[in-house]
Amino acid sequence: MKLLRALLIVLLLIVVGMFVSGWWTGTSIRTAVSHASGKPAATSGTIDMERARERGAEVGEKAARATAAVRDTVAEAALTSKIKAKMALDDYVRARSIDVSTSGSTVKLSGTVHSTAERDRAVKLARETAGVTSVIDHVDVER
């Protein structure tokens, strides 16, 4: 409660300080905005339209590549999340002991489990997940 009260007092002091500073210097938010929107900015010289189109096409291509990369990353994260959720809900698999990494539609499982049955169940859950084409099993069984 004391921390909250101290934060509110500091916030109040900052607001009062900003008000006094604006009054002291003769500026305020209203005057700053009215001066900024005075005349429109102009360019001097000529614009090379062909170069502008080329530059726009380059930017568009880079944006498309970035979008594709994000889409792939999100799809991989979705596969990983689906598999981890299946493992977390399964009674025979300790999801925290198995790491799941995805590259495209290939899933790699790694970690250490208590039994061969637990490892087989984890691999089966991964293979049964929609969108997975192959599973690489690097899960070790404790001895």
CATH number, domain at 73? Answer: 3.30.1340.30
Q: Answer whether residue 25 is part of any domain.
A: no
Query: What is the pTM (predicted TM-score) of this model?
Result: 0.60
pLDDT per residue as tens digits for the range 33-71: 555 555 555 566 677 888 889 999 999 999 999 998 888
Shortest CA distance to 115 belongs to which of 96, 141, 76? Answer: 141
Of residues 33 and 86, more confidence is placed in 86
The DSSP string of 85-107 is: HHHHH-SS--GGGEEEEEETTEE
pLDDT at residue 30 tops 80: no
Structural domains counted in the chain: 1
Q: Answer whether residue 46 is part of any domain.
A: no
User: Checking DSSP bridges between strand 98-103 and strand 106-113, what pairing results, if any?
Assistant: antiparallel
Residue type (1 letter), 59? V
Give the residue-averaged pLDDT of 82-104. 93
Give the residue-averaged pLDDT of 95-119. 94
Domain that holds residue 69: 64-143
Model pLDDT, residue 2: 72
